[in-house]
Amino acid sequence: MNESQIYRQRLEARMIDIAERLIAGEGLASVQARRIAQEADCSVGTLYNVFGGLDGLIISASTRTLKALGETLETAVRGAVSGSLEDQLMALALAYSGFAHRQTHRWRALFEHRMEPGKPVPDGYRAEQEALLKLVEECLAGYIAAPVERFSAARALFSGVHGIVWLALDNKLGALGPAECERQIRFIVGAAARGVMALGK
């Protein structure tokens, strides 16, 4: 690797660090090309050369968030691996909610960012998203045999929990603190888990 490649790698990592810090502290709207370039001590053109545009930089920063979220969920489900389906799904759901409450700006950025028209979401980013949902599918594997049904069930559970967390953080149904958010998650995940277990008997 030559000096130019080493410099490019370091610059790329520095810009991702800056974007990640801005997102965590101020939210997605704070990630602006001129601001990133100024902090990274480079030109806006260099940012576009390295990432192909602001979308590429945001995706890189958000990929780190997805990895961090994935590690959080994996740790949670490993701790419940000897428990019931309800225990495992509840561990995942509460870990997801906890991450969203602790890292709200980073979590929001995963869903607020929209690629420019005509630009597809990179395959690597999609793979990180799918890895999260696979954790739910793996919990359901012993109860829902058909892959298509398991696929749908995992996404339905995710959507239900995600919706509760989003509404709570946005105060769309009145001020819902973490305790009330957890009660609602426990209700919907518990009911779903018991229903799946009943079907599997």
Name, in order, each residue with C-beta under 8 angstroms of 15's C-beta and a sequence gap of 6 or more. 36, 40, 42, 47, 50, 51, 57
What does the DSSP 8-state code read for residue 30? G
Fold of 3-200: Tetracycline Repressor; domain 2 (1.10.357)
Arithmetic mean of pLDDT over the chain: 93
pLDDT at 201 over 60: no
pTM of the predicted model, to two decimals? 0.93
Q: What pLDDT sits at residue 58? A: 97
Measure CA 185 to chain center. 18
Q: What pLDDT sits at residue 173? A: 65
Reduced to 3 states (helix: H, G, I; strand: E, B; else coil), residue 54 is: helix
Measure CA 139 to chain center. 19
Q: What percent of the chain has pLDDT over 90?
A: 83
As a whole number, mean pLDDT of residues 154-168 equals 96
Locate 75 and state its tokens. 């740790």
Q: What pLDDT sits at residue 40? A: 95
CA distance 160 to 156: 6
Closest among 77, 97, 187, 184 to 141, alpha carbons compared? 77
pLDDT at 172 over 80: no
CA distance 181 to 167: 9
DSSP 167-179: HHHHTBTB---HH
Q: Where are the domains of the chain?
A: 3-200
Distances (CA, A) of 201 to 70, 150, 153, 194: 31, 16, 17, 11
CB of 74 closer than 8 Å to CB of 178: no
What pLDDT digit, counting tens, does each position of 61-119 carry? 999 999 999 999 999 999 999 999 999 999 999 999 999 999 999 999 999 999 888 88
Give me the phi and psi of 32, to 5 degrees please.
-125, 140
Burial class (CB in 10 A: 0-12, 13-18, 19+), 148: exposed
